[in-house]
Amino acid sequence: MHIKTLALTTMLWALALPPLPSVWHAQTTEAPTVALAGNGRALLPVVVATTATPEVRATAATLADYLKRISGANFVVQDGDCRTGLAVGTAADFPALPPATKLDAADNRRREQYVLQSHAGGIYLIGATPLAVRHAIWDFLDR
């Protein structure tokens, strides 16, 4: 009985909230849609920085392997910048990242943070640390 009362109270509370200001809606932009594979071939490579650690490279190879299992397309892992492809690495690996994707590996409370974000040239799978990069690819594969 207590749970039903709580749920009903919460639902009524939510209905009583005023609508969000229209300025919030004006700032929202639709994320670009990115095609990964088509007709049995990869449309984007998996990209790592030339300075990527062996751990990050292994994570990128895992992503490429699972994408192949899912799509049947052969995804290559190649060195590059983050401007095109599935950029896999730490924020420190890619200095050209936009400010919204910057992460701080020095802050112990944020070492496992990552960013999954599509953009016109591909997708960022960026972590604060190599561990966070692994979290990013598994979260990406789970979506």
Indicate whether 25 pLDDT > 80: no
Could you tell me the pLDDT band of residue 129, with boundaries at 50, 70 and 90? very high
Indicate whether 51 pLDDT > 90: yes
Cβ atoms 85, 122 nearer than 8 A: yes
Residues facing residue 118 across a β-bridge: 123
Could you tell me the pLDDT band of residue 96, with boundaries at 50, 70 and 90? confident
pLDDT average, residue stretch 19-42: 68
Prediction pTM value: 0.77
Tell me which residue of 83, 84, 89, 74 sits closest to 127, measured CA to CA. 89
| Per-residue pLDDT, 8 | 35
